Amino acid sequence: MVDSPRCLSAAHFIVDTNQVTYPAHINGPRIKLNINALPSKFRYDRDFLLQFMDVCKDKPDRLPPPEAFSLDALSLANKPGSAHQRQPVCTIRVARVKEVRMPNPSPRADTVAIVEVRVLLNTLTPDDFDSVSGLIITWVNSSEGEDDAWTLFEFIRLVFERAISEPTSSQLYARLCRKMMDQASPAIVHKDVRDSEGHFITGSRLFRKLLLNRCQEHFEHSWRIHLEASAATAANTAIVIEVPRSEGREDDQKAIRQGPDLMRFMGELFKLQMLTERIMHECVKKLLSNIDNPGNEVIESLCALLEIVGQKLDTTKARTHMDVYIRRMKDLSDSSNIDPRLRSMLLEAIELRSRNWIPRDIVATPDTTLPSE
């Protein structure tokens, strides 16, 4: 290791990671990460990299300024003739949320537990939440002997489908998910789901991972369909839906329509600390990545999400990010391609931020308290 204040000046390319010798107090990277790795395509685990945190603090000479990574840089890079157009290093790239793909259990007939859970979900209301949710969790936890967490999978599927098809109840179902995460039995396990150390991910961690996977799959599926539709529109190609409609096409259209409801549910999960700020920011960035032809559902999804999470995201630390989001939304509202209804939604979201994310009806509510005698 080099103790120079300019450590980067002594850096050189690594040809074979197995030939690198580290000091006695430094643990090498995990070998299995680079099996059959191509030259210059090596991967390093987090624990290995953190060992150099106190040493490697120099900024690379050719690293662009921080503002080059903003959403504004993206809009500049997309404009023909822009000075930034030929400089991909200055273009923002929406980071992908870490993959959490899970092996789905094989289909089977409903168990007694799932039958009871389905019945109880039909009776779940805010008034009897504590009692009914307790019974639901008891039934889900009764399936501890399964090696593929099938009952837990089915519970997540049922709750998720209800949450995005009953948007007025998204907060209720988010509360149920939070309670399930807090009280999930540590004996619930999936034989194929392990952490980086090879240990089983169980109980609460398994539930959160499966739920995040479900949200991510649905979001990416609807986003992929949106991109395909946008590409067809840009090429002046009509999207013809044949009659009778195929089941796949029906599912695609349903996924797009449910985009705003998915954002509401994910926003409620974030408020209950089940999803991270990073995931929320990546969702907003992706929804704002195209102001030329965003799509109606994309704008509705953006406004629905910010209405729920705007106040919690608009912190001092992330204020500059939110400023960029609002500027992009203003540019979007000025576009001639936007429907008046959607323009109104954008302007309402922008105004909501100017009121510190306090709804207009709360701000306008007069104080009716009578003065004391």
**What would the DSSP string read from start to end of 333-360?**
HT-TTS-HHHHHHHHHHHHHHHTTT--H
Question: How many domains does the structure of the chain reveal?
Answer: 3
Asked if 28 and 145 sit in the same domain, the reply is: no
- The beta-carbon contacts of 180-185 under 8 Å, at least 24 apart in sequence, are 180/136, 180/137, 180/140, 180/155, 180/207, 181/207, 181/208, 181/211, 181/274, 183/137, 183/141, 184/137, 184/140, 184/141, 184/152, 185/141, 185/144
Asked if 178 and 314 sit in the same domain, the reply is: no
Asked if 209 and 269 sit in the same domain, the reply is: yes
Asked if 225 and 263 sit in the same domain, the reply is: yes
Residue 118 lies in a domain: yes
Q: Which of 232, 229, 233 is nearest to 259 (CA)?
A: 229
Q: Which CATH number fits the domain that encloses residue 297?
A: 1.25.40.180
Residue 365 lies in a domain: no
Q: In tens digits, what is the pLDDT along the chain, a chain of 373 residues?
A: 444 445 555 666 676 777 788 787 788 887 767 776 666 567 777 777 777 777 666 655 555 555 444 444 444 444 444 444 433 322 333 444 344 455 555 566 678 999 999 999 999 999 999 999 999 999 999 888 898 899 999 999 999 999 999 989 999 999 999 999 999 999 999 888 888 888 899 999 999 999 999 999 888 888 887 777 666 655 554 444 433 444 556 666 777 788 899 999 999 999 999 999 999 999 999 999 887 778 888 999 999 999 999 999 999 999 999 999 999 999 999 888 888 999 999 999 999 999 999 987 775 555 555 555 4
Asked if 214 and 295 sit in the same domain, the reply is: no
In whole angstroms, give the CA distance from residue 180 to residue 242: 42
In whole angstroms, give the CA distance from residue 335 to residue 328: 11
Asked if 200 and 118 sit in the same domain, the reply is: yes
Task: Tell me the two tokens of residue 74.
Answer: 């993206």
Helix axes 340-354, 296-313, angle to 10 degrees: 10
Asked if 325 and 191 sit in the same domain, the reply is: no
Asked if 223 and 302 sit in the same domain, the reply is: no
Q: Is 192 helix (H, G, I), strand (E, B) or coil?
A: strand
Helix, strand, coil: what percent of the chain each, to 5? Answer: 55, 5, 40
Q: Which of 202, 303, 221, 301 is nearest to 261 (CA)?
A: 301
Asked if 207 and 291 sit in the same domain, the reply is: no
Residue 94 lies in a domain: no
Residue 63 lies in a domain: no
pLDDT digits (tens, 9 = 90+) for 153-181: 999 999 999 999 998 999 999 999 999 99
Residue 124 lies in a domain: yes
∠ CA 156-266-296 to the nearest 5 degrees?
120
In whole angstroms, give the CA distance from residue 305 to residue 301: 6
> Hunting for tokens 């300019």 — which residue is that?
6
Residue 77 lies in a domain: no
DSSP-derived secondary structure for 194-251: E-TTSPEEEHHHHHHHHHHHHHHHHHHHHHHHHHHHHHHHHTT------SSPPHHHHH
CB-based burial of residue 357 (10 Å sphere; 0-12 exposed, 13-18 middle, 19+ buried)? Answer: middle
pTM greater than 0.75 (yes/no) = no
Phi, psi angles (nearest 5°) of residue 98: -50, 135
Strands 200-202 and 189-194: antiparallel
Contact 188, 152 (CB under 8 A): yes
Asked if 145 and 131 sit in the same domain, the reply is: yes
CB-based burial of residue 370 (10 Å sphere; 0-12 exposed, 13-18 middle, 19+ buried)? Answer: exposed
Task: Tell me the two tokens of residue 90.
Answer: 């200055």
Q: Is 189 helix (H, G, I), strand (E, B) or coil?
A: strand
> CB count, 10 Å around CB of 194?
12
Residue 88 lies in a domain: no
- Give me the domain span that covers residue 269: 108-235+247-275
Q: Which of 276, 298, 273, 268 is nearest to 285 (CA)?
A: 298
Asked if 253 and 293 sit in the same domain, the reply is: no
Residue 317 lies in a domain: yes
Asked if 262 and 302 sit in the same domain, the reply is: no
Task: Tell me the two tokens of residue 354.
Answer: 């100017």
